[in-house]
């Protein structure tokens, strides 16, 4: 790994497919090099629009989040503060996600909407694309089940954003350790 970059595994659960119309409901993030250094946030929905299938996958309840979740601005402030406190001076935080375009789009939208800037900038590392490039597999071979069969992580995803961020951190660490061996 590059010493001036800090890889952060991020996973989100949402109420639907696109930011701006659907809500970011939970964020889980951890350092790739130290998954115990982590944050988990549940947010109040900022839109009533939802896809029942998305909610069924995450198991999150919109009414409960409206009562108990953090206001989106507070959640994004906490996430930003966690990134700052977890990132040594001089390092740049790098967003790493499994299907990063989806997760990053919500995180980017919410950072810009509620704080005016995204500390990750405008890029992310997509683990699916990284795996495809590293192994030479076809796109259909980038499913997490395929990655798991190849890399043999100890953990498994379960649609809790923090648990999934830690699973992704383990997978990405295994990918990095496997560099140049294929």
The residues assigned a catalytic role are 159
Question: Buried (b) or exposed (e) across 58-97, using 16+ Cβ within 10 A?
Answer: bebebeebeeebbebeebbeebbebbeebbeeeeebbbbb
Q: Is 44 exposed, middle or buried (0-12, 13-18, 19+ CB in 10 A)?
A: middle
Whether 153 and 172 have beta carbons less than 8 Å apart is answered as: no
Whether 126 and 7 have beta carbons less than 8 Å apart is answered as: no
Q: How big is the chain, counted in residues?
A: 182
Tell me the C-alpha distance between 7 and 73, whole Å. 24
């Amino acid at each position: 790994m590059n010493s001036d970059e800090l890889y952060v595994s991020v996973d989100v659960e949402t109420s639907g497919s696109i930011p701006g119309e659907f809500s970011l409901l939970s964020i889980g993030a951890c350092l790739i090099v130290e998954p115990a250094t982590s944050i988990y946030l549940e947010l109040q929905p900022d839109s009533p629009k939802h896809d029942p299938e998305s909610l069924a996958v995450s198991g999150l309840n919109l009414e409960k989040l409206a009562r108990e979740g953090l206001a989106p601005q507070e959640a994004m402030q906490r996430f930003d503060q966690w990134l700052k406190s977890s990132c040594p001076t001089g390092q740049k935080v790098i967003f790493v996600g499994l299907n990063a375009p989806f997760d990053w789009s919500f995180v980017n939208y919410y950072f810009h909407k509620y704080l005016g800037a995204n500390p990750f900038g405008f890029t992310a590392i997509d683990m699916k694309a990284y795996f495809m490039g590293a192994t030479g597999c076809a796109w259909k071979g980038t499913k997490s089940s395929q990655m798991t069969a190849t890399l043999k992580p100890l953990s498994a995803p379960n649609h809790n954003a923090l648990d999934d961020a830690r699973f992704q951190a383990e997978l990405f660490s295994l990918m990095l350790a496997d560099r140049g061996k294929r």
